[in-house]
Structure 1
Amino acid sequence: MTTSKHFLLAPFGGWGHLRPAISFIPNLLSRSPSSLITILVPVSNSKPASQEFQRYGLDTNDKVKIIHYGAKENAKEIAYTKGNELVVQIRELIGAIGANYGKILKCEPVHDTLLEKDVETHPITPHVAITSITTTQFTVPICEKINKELQKDVKLALWTPTGVEHAAWVMCNLPEGETYRERAKRIFEAPDEEKKKVYNEVLGENEEVVNVPGAAPIYTYEAQPNRNDTFFRIVYPILPILPRVTMIHPYPAFLGQKYKKAAEESGYDVLQIGQQIPADPQIGLPDGPLKQFLDEALEEKGKDSVIYISFGTLYFAPSLEQLSILLDVLISLDKRFILSLGIASPDIQTMVKDKFDSNGQGKGIYVDWAPQLSVLKHEATGWFLTHGGANSVIEAMRARTPMLFWPADIDQVWISNAFSRIHQAGYEFLQIRNGPNIGRKTYTGVKVEGTKQAIQNEFTFVFSSLEDKEFGGKWREGVEELGRKMEDDSAAEEDWRKLVDL
């Protein structure tokens, strides 16, 4: 007789964390069919989450308990995180763990704030509780305290859906130079009036070379191409806690072997379970303006003629001027493109609409949101201009679509680094960098001018060269190779077995 195991999953509510967590469930059940799963879902993203649950038939699966938390007035149609919603989502998750973890361990009913009623939980205590890396400082101690009070031996793990190259920078001992945690410590320990100065000394304007496992060398200041690093405020308090838990990375395992070795040598337990997009037969685009635009571009311009542009659900990398230059170049070159506006500011959205109304008709289309994987898999889509988020590059590999990187912050920087310079799967724009990058050379020797002309020149060169075999051809070959390796990622299976056996 097979004994069922119960996995409690409490990911951060942002779409980049929540979506792969939902996709994780059918992958877990395919390897451990008797398992039971409880997942906590924020009301704010319950509508797009519901579509994901339905896609995999999880909404009617009695092995899966979906419990909603958070305020109903925060519910959204599209899973973007704007402004202070990031802080709200973090606080709501911490509150949900504090209020519900003990009840779930005792198999008691839990209040669902979307349904506005108590719902039954699974009849066995969770064997594994997977909380979010972003709330480690608070939720791991809460779970440890309740485990002790209730005398429950629940294994604790962290859902870590970011690029492993960034995790290596944050966590691991480097072969030379000061580690990220040492730099963050210096900022934290500085007097308030000195923090900005110390930040610039150790991160913002620091010119030391950083060699991170799995990435190409860069100068420290290059790790903040478009935003100041704010992640150190989250990272520093959680680093002492990480050795007490297992980190679960839903990221291609074959890309993270150098990180895995360095992490284990640095005292961390990490599991790499590979990408979490199950095979999905319902991948076609629904009828509508987006599909019509792509179909017409395919007929007029041919295969791989459309550039899809999206900057994710958390940050919007370009400034108004930079995006205006980009659109002008694409229109002048008669390129076909799709722009997902996402969390663009009202000023940027107004500029885009005015530009399309004046001279962009027929060449491009803008949307608030696009079914990204479906767009990438359309035969007309040939390039993906992306911020370089973990979920986006995984979808690009699945669709075999080469990338043009415009990173903002956190793991996007390191993913862009690795995919452009190590894996040859895309090109990273450099002249769009700002702050201390302007006037300095990159490790590759390119000086970042940061001027309107320099940005325009780089855009013009890149978009004029996409069809060249020596330029665009190598990126397409690179992403094809990565896609094949990802679909047969044998390095992930050993860690899957370890996860199921936790």
Structure 2
Amino acid sequence: MSTPTTTHIVGYSEQAWGHARPMINLFARFVKLRPVTVTFLTTNAFYDRATKELSRSFESDDKELAKRVRVISTGNAEFMALTSGDESFKTAWKSLISEEELVCAQTGTRFAPLPKPKAIIIDFFAIEPFRAIRALSGHSVKIYSWVPGQTYPILYLFGPKHLGGRGDVNALIEEEVRQTGRDYNDVANELTFKPFGEIVRLPGMVPMYDHEYYPQDFPMPGTLGDIFPHVYNTLEVSDGLMMITPNSYEPEAVAAAKGWFAQTGRPAYAVGPLLPSASKEAADANEKKQSSEGGQIQEFLDATLKTSGPKSLLYISFGSIFWPVNKPENVWAVLDVVMELNIPFIMSHASPFAGPIPDEIKEKVKAYGKGILSPWTPQQLILDHPTTGWFIAHGGHNGVTEAISAGVPQILWPFGGDQPLNAVQIADQLQVGYELLEVRTGHGLKPIYRTGYTPKGTVDAIKAEVRDVLQKAFGEDGAKKRAKLAELQKALNGEWEEGGSSRSDALAFLDSL
């Protein structure tokens, strides 16, 4: 298939898989909807994973179509150091707007020049790259801020005050520095990551104490203090907003974000869920290749289905970054209860903060005989398997939407970012899952506004809560939540169908260029 392309779009995400993966799937959908070519800029560390993820959206006879998404590495970037790839991006951007060829730093492949991009969709954490685009190309290329998470926390952390947001935090920091002479970074970290005892009120979300946005004592990267204060201003001057959320999941938040941008005549698009768009068989086969234990996990799932039946397995994952760093014993306490209740399980420990699993735990799981500990799992394959019943997760937006799309209810253990509000949305507002409270640490061991309860955070309290939640989940109460989830699953999976809101928003974006 060789349809001439007329529009060139660029994409750039920070080096976090939860930011990059949905962007790749969106671009695969773009080239199927309209005759466009997309250049996706990534890093050496993510190149292989990105190309494999892209392959999950195309059938074997779609090779020409797949070529319209060009995956190009700009070089090495330090993990979790969000500013380390800024200079290499700037160099690539100069080539793109000068209509010069690009060379992939990972493979050495030379990519022919394309017409100057009409637009770039760029991670809202990429502050310096955003500034470089404006400095080098002015307003000749439209910049759309990429929001790789739930919309509710974006309204609070980076939104205007009339929507319950914090507004221009950078202005507050600069004023404090001017009055006190303190170091900017010290003030930035204080005003950005420390709660002040305020009550946060967002459209369509239950009121919460600000400390509930930080339920775990987790070491956030130092570079975030250089980035978070500037996101509000970047959003204010971008040409539009691209949200990975489905409208059916958080309609009030999507409406608020669209209204915010509409005040200045700018569009905001909600385009979730961003899952692979090839057939399930093709998508699962290519995802399995991303895990060295993919074959073993497939065999384990099939065997569990035979021995324990449908919806019997518990899947546990905190994504590619998060882990209870200061309290790893909390994870082992949960596993003790899972094995006590004779529940088969798969646990992913992909986070670099997880470290090696203690030999004692490995031996315990081996003796149990119904569990797998894996450093990287084919998550969607697991969620789609008929033996998977429940998902203990951190509540990152990709995992949340993947689980809803697969019809697998969740038990959430949030750390930060969008996770605490996803937990409230799932457990309290939609009532299609549960939230674990006793696993909280740090600021999380303060009162919960909506109930007044203060978690104890002890191992005994964790075991008691997990035992209670799992018995409910695999019982009558869990069956009711699963039935309720089925309604949301249908709505969410319809977003990209003909007439669906995500498909309509994507087409509106493409046709505006």
Q: Pick the TM interval, shorter chain.
A: 0.7 to 0.9
1:495 has 2:505 as partner: yes
Of 117, 128, 152 in structure 2, the residue corresponding to residue 126 of structure 1 is 117
Bigger Cα displacement from structure 2, 287-296 vs 430-439:
287-296
Structure 1 unaligned blocks of 5 or more: 75-83
Matched, 1:253 2:247: yes
Question: CA 1:217 to 1:439, structure 2 compared with 1: closer, same or farther past 3 Å?
Answer: closer
Is 1:335 matched with 2:343? yes
Of the candidates 27, 30, 33, which is equivalent to residue 32 of structure 2?
Answer: 30
User: How far, CA to CA, are the matches of 1:441 and 1:275 in structure 2?
Assistant: 30
Amino acid at match of 2:274: Q
Aligned to 1:273: 271
Could you tell me the percent identity over the aligned residues?
A: 23
Could you say which residue in structure 2 is the equivalent of 1:397?
Answer: 404
- Given candidates 14, 17, 20, the residue that maps to 1:18 is 20
TM-fit CA distance, 1:386:
0.6
Aligned to 1:235: 228
Q: Distance in 1 between matches of 2:449 and 2:68?
A: 51
Q: Identify if the C-alpha distance between structure 1 residues 481 and 117 changes in structure 2 by more than 3 Å, giving closer, same or farther.
A: closer
Aligned residues of 1:229 and 1:410 also touching (Cα < 8 A): no
* Counterpart Cα distance in 2 of 1:91 and 1:388: 27
Q: Residue 280 of structure 2: SS of its match in structure 1?
A: coil
Alignment of 1:179-258 (within 5 A): 179-181=165-167, 186=172, 189=176, 192=182, 204-227=194-217, 230=220, 233-245=226-238, 246-258=240-252
How many residues are paired up?
479
| 1: CA distance, partners of 2:218 / 2:349 | 23
Partner Cα separation in structure 2 for residue 247 and residue 227 of structure 1: 31
Cα pair 1:5 1:126 within 8 Å, conserved:
yes
| Alpha-carbon distance, 1:440 to partner | 3.0
Change (3 A) 1:423 1:49: same
Name the aligned partner's letter for residue 262 of structure 1. A
Residues 42-441 of structure 1 mapped to structure 2, 5 A cutoff = 42-57=43-58, 61-71=66-76, 85-87=79-81, 90-92=83-85, 94-116=86-108, 118-122=110-114, 124-135=115-126, 137-148=127-138, 153-173=140-160, 179-181=165-167, 186=172, 189=176, 192=182, 204-227=194-217, 230=220, 233-245=226-238, 246-267=240-261, 269=266, 270-277=268-275, 278-282=277-281, 283-284=283-284, 288-317=295-324, 319-343=327-351, 344-357=353-366, 359-360=367-368, 362-438=369-445, 440-441=447-448
Q: CA separation in 2, counterparts of 1:143 and 1:184? A: 21
Listed as ranges, the gaps of 5+ residues in structure 2 are 289-293
RMSD: 2.9
CA contact (8 A) 1:226 1:435 kept: yes
Q: 1:41 maps to what in 2?
A: 42
Instruction: Note if contact 1:68-1:112 (Cα within 8 Å) is conserved in structure 2.
Output: yes
Residue 457 of structure 2 is matched in structure 1 by 450
The aligned amino acid for 2:91 is A
Looking at structure 2, the residues matched to 437 and 446 of structure 1 have their Cα atoms a distance apart, in angstroms, of: 11
1:175–1:211 CA contact under 8 A, matched in 2? no
DSSP 3-state at the match of 1:86? coil
CA contact (8 A) 1:214 1:255 kept: no
Shift in Å, 1:4 = 1.2
For the 8 Å contact 2:163–2:256, the answer to whether it is kept is: no
- Distance (Å, rounded) in 2 between the aligned partners of 1:484 and 1:215: 23
Deviations 1:92-139 (CA, angstroms, capped at 9, x unpaired): 1x22321011211121112321123543232x111111221111x211
Task: Tell me which residue corresponds to 2:467.
Answer: 460
Matched residue of 1:239: which SS? helix
Q: How far apart in 2 are the matches of 1:196 and 1:41? A: 31
TM-score (norm 1): 0.87
Per the TM alignment, residue 303 of structure 1 is displaced from its structure 2 partner at its CA by 0.8
